[in-house]
Amino acid sequence: MDAFTIRVEDGIGWLVLDLPGEPVNMITRAVRHELDEALDRLVADKEIRAVVLISGKPDSFIAGADIDEFVALQSREEAYELVRSGQALINRLERLGKPIVAAINGSCLGGGLETALACTYRVATDNPKTRIGLPEVQLGIIPAAGGCQRLPRLIGVRAALDIILAGKQVVARRAYRVGMVDELVPSAILEEVAYKAAKRLAGGWRPKRRRVGAADLALDRNPLGRRVVFATAKKQLLKKTGGHYPAPEAALRAVQHGMKHGIEAGLDMEAAFFAELAVDDVSRRLVQIFFATTALKKDPGVEGDVPEPVPVSNLGVVGAGFMGAGIGGVAVAQAGVDVRFRDNDFERIGKGLEGARKILKGRLKRRRIDKYEYRRLDSLLSGSTGYESFRRCDLVIEAVFEDLDVKHEVMREIEENVRDDCVIASNTSTIPIARIAQVVERPERVLGMHFFSPVEKMPLLEVIVTDRTAPWVTVSAVAFGREMGKTVIVVQDQPGFWVNRILGPYLNEAGRLLQQGVTVEHIDKAMTRFGFPVGPVTLLDEVGLDVAQKAAKVLCDAFGDRMRSTEGMERMIEDGRLGRKSGSGFYRYEKGKKRDVDETAYEIIGAAAGSKVPREDVTKRMAYSMLNEAARALDEGVVRSPRDGDIGAIFGIGFPPFLGGPLRYLDELGAKRVAETLQQLAEAYGDRFAPCPRLVRMADAGERFYPA
Ligand code: COA
């Protein structure tokens, strides 16, 4: 055996998993085979009365089934065979005849949790890396080694659905609270506590579990109540997935079926669904996204010789407005660095500190940190009206007003007050970094760090490099962005960068449709049905019409007519309708809540009388304008690869993950077909739709963005 070792200590068998040559433990074919053998030995050894299953890796219990193995599956039959053998093994573990304690430290995900669920008792560490959950639906499959059966029986249907349907991973504290694990301990005493539990179990003790809320239990036992739980879950699910993601629906059915007809029937259904989903296109694309984000975690952001990043322990944030506060708050919460705000007066600084603190408070409330950690992190926040202590900063991010003169002034001040090895970043969303860097003496240490709003929620960071940005500066910004928990893509300093560049024509097209008399609802619905989380008109309102218009102008100045926005937008801004923040845009807002469409908006923009454009046409015009621009910008080198472009669109705009991103989707549609459609659109609606040179070339040569 390579992966497992067994050691016996006073009647307790230690079953240690340490998959050689891998950073994490996962369940491969070989691991399954070895586990089977190990179980034989545990049964045969009469001295062993109870077992502790533990990992030999520092931060990974078991990270689930081997994803590489399941993407290699060629047919449903093969997938079915795989899942059945997995189920059989887990069933065997559960019925070993000797109690097993799962001692969990580090990732305990997917098949890892399903293994732990089949054990008699679970002890987990409070290590922040101990994450417990069933992420399968995020990969387009379902927990199919009994997860849909054992979890609801352990913690109640409602709580289990909450985890399974969203593919959630929770910290150990939360897992303990809902009853997924029986004991929560510091890492240092994991072995001791697990050993003692095994001893007690060997002596005939059985854990009493009563943590499932009484209300949940009553619901679970009562068929009518259960039906209500499932019906509600289904409704909420469909609202979220729009029917584009088959896995969560399948998981829901597998849970429901198992609760009604028993575990065996539930397992049958799990296996049948898994076999279907594992070879489905949606799953393949979601797995590609997982691989892309994993690869990005290791990408330093530069090619060739990779310099060491400057470690950031002191961050300066100039401009303590909403964005600045968000950046500072996430930096302290996520990376634990010292954050120093600088703004013109103490009122602003106070607000900035409050904004940053709100992020910490949120984490305290959700119990991601305890009150001691909260106090420690809070004490790392400070601010002043001067630049004193900026000499300690390793990185300074400016988030002041979007005005070139203001930015220039701030850049000069920053440069005067920081060390030579300090990286200087701008959080601009519209101004070219090279222009911002014009006034500094050493432009090689300047770049853009474009965070999205709200910083705490949005997962993407664009690191924008100019021709002069030095590689050490790029790698430092990329590394710190990642420490802040962001998925980072490096993009070229061109107008709109990547995300706003491809968003521009899309939002403009929404404006044109509105002007043409198509209703707000029709446009928004078309695009949410396509798979976007919100429609483009809602997005305009959220972003702010003035902000969107500013970005649109930058694009139009740079790229000309094809990026021109509509006059209607201008009139909305003149009328003070900036979207949610002003209480009215295309929708009405009451106490921060979005209400119905504000019909008077049509009048303001001068919309033509009601026009019936079929949904397919709306979708086509909207989506193809983005696809065309994505191909064009990639061709111009704005992003370094189709991978970065797709991840940027998915994490930055919410491009439908099940389509794999705009470039992956272009491959799926085929360059030829897209180029032809764009040509038709150009003839019908104008030159802005003319297929970009790259697509035309690809159509002629039958090329793709990704290898087939
Ligand atoms: N199958 C195959 N490979 C896996 C894996 C799995 N279940 N889980 C992790 N890995 C690999 C990663 O691809 C990466 O490989 P690489 O070094 O060749 O690039 C390596 O393990 C380390 O993972 P990484 O994500 O870089 O480490 P991390 O510490 O940041 O995160 C996890 C660790 C486990 C939280 C994260 O990898 C993860 O979420 N994995 C997927 C878990 C999952 O979905 N399991 C259910 C599968 S059905």
Q: Domain locations in the chain? A: 4-279, 314-492, 499-701
Nearest ligand 1 atom, CA 134: 46
**pLDDT tens, 510-538?**
999 999 999 999 999 999 999 999 999 99
Say if 4-279 and 499-701 have the same CATH topology.
no
For ligand 1, is residue 461 a contact (CB within 6 Å)? Answer: no
Measured CA to CA, the distance from residue 59 to residue 57 in angstroms comes to: 6
Cα–Cα distance, 156 to 321 (Å, whole number): 44
- The CA 460 to ligand 1 mean position distance, Å, reads 19
Which residues belong to the active site? 462
Residue-wise pLDDT tens digits, 455-471: 999 999 999 999 999 99
Find the 109 Cα to ligand 1 centroid distance in Å: 10
User: With a 6 A CB cut-off, is 136 part of the ligand 1 pocket?
Assistant: yes
Atom 20, ligand 1: which residue's CA is nearest? 23
- Closest Cα to atom 25 of ligand 1: 294
Q: How far is CA 430 from CA 46, 433, 620, in A?
A: 71, 9, 27
Q: Is the CB of 128 under 6 A from ligand 1?
A: no
Q: How do residues 358-413 score in pLDDT, each as one tens digit? A: 999 999 998 888 899 999 999 999 999 999 899 999 999 999 999 999 999 999 99
127-173 pLDDT, tens per residue? 989 999 999 999 999 999 999 999 999 999 999 999 999 999 999 99
- Tell me the CATH number for domain 314-492: 3.40.50.720
Return d(Cα 690, Cα 663) in angstroms, integer: 17
Placement of tokens 């929770």 in the chain: 170
Per-residue model confidence (pLDDT) at position 450: 97
Which of 24, 87, 168 for a ligand 1 pocket mutation test, highest count of atoms within 8 Å of Cβ? 24
Q: How far is the CA of 24 from the centre of ligand 1 (A)?
A: 7
Name the 3-class secondary structure at 278.
helix
Q: How far is the CA of 458 from the centre of ligand 1 (A)?
A: 22
Instruction: Enumerate long-range contacts of 32-39, CB under 8 Å, 24 or more apart.
Output: 32/85, 32/86, 32/89, 34/1, 34/2, 34/3, 34/4, 35/4, 35/89, 35/93, 36/89, 36/92, 37/1, 38/1, 38/4, 38/6, 39/92, 39/93, 39/96
SS3 at position 389: coil
In this structure, are residues 140 and 280 in contact, taking their beta carbons and an 8 Å threshold? yes
CA quadruple 361, 364, 368, 369: dihedral, nearest 10: 110
Which atom belonging to ligand 1 lies closest to the Cα atom of 59?
A: 29
Give me the torsion for CA of 84, 87, 93, 96, rounded to 10°.
Answer: -60
Query: Does any ligand 1 atom lie closer than 6 A to the CB of residue 299?
Result: no
User: Tens digits of per-residue pLDDT, 433-446?
Assistant: 999 999 999 999 99
Mutate to test the pocket of ligand 1, among 142, 294, 483, 643 (most ligand atoms within 8 A of CB): 294
Q: Is the CB of 35 under 6 A from ligand 1?
A: no
Domain 4-279 has CATH 3.90.226.10: yes
User: Residue 263 has what DSSP assignment?
Assistant: H
Q: What is the Rg, in whole angstroms, of the alpha carbon atoms belonging to the chain?
A: 28
If one counts every other C-beta atom within 10 angstroms of the C-beta of residue 115, the result is 27
Per-residue pLDDT tens digits for 306-345: 999 999 999 999 999 999 999 999 999 999 999 999 999 9
Give the C-alpha separation, 689 to 224, whole Å.
55
Q: What is the 3-state secondary structure (H, E, C) of 544-608?
A: CHHHHHHHHHHHHHHHHHHHCCCHHHHHHHHCCCCEHHHCECCEEEECCEEEEECCHHHHHHCCC
CA 241 centroid distance within chain:
15
Distance in angstroms (rounded) separating the CA atoms of residues 552 and 60: 46
Counting ligand 1 atoms within 8 A of each CB, the residue from 22, 67, 283, 299 with the most, and so the one to mutate, is 67
Tokens matching residue 44: 């045969």
Measured CA to CA, the distance from residue 341 to residue 326 in angstroms comes to 11
pLDDT in tens, 161-186: 999 999 999 999 999 999 999 999 99
What type of residue is 600? Answer: T
**Owner of token pair 């500072």:** 328
Q: What is the pLDDT of residue 611?
A: 74
Output the CATH code of domain 499-701. 1.10.1040.50
Tell me if 71 CB under 6 Å of ligand 1.
no
Confidence (pLDDT) at 392: 96
The letter for the amino acid at 2 is D
Nearest CA, atom 22, ligand 1: 23
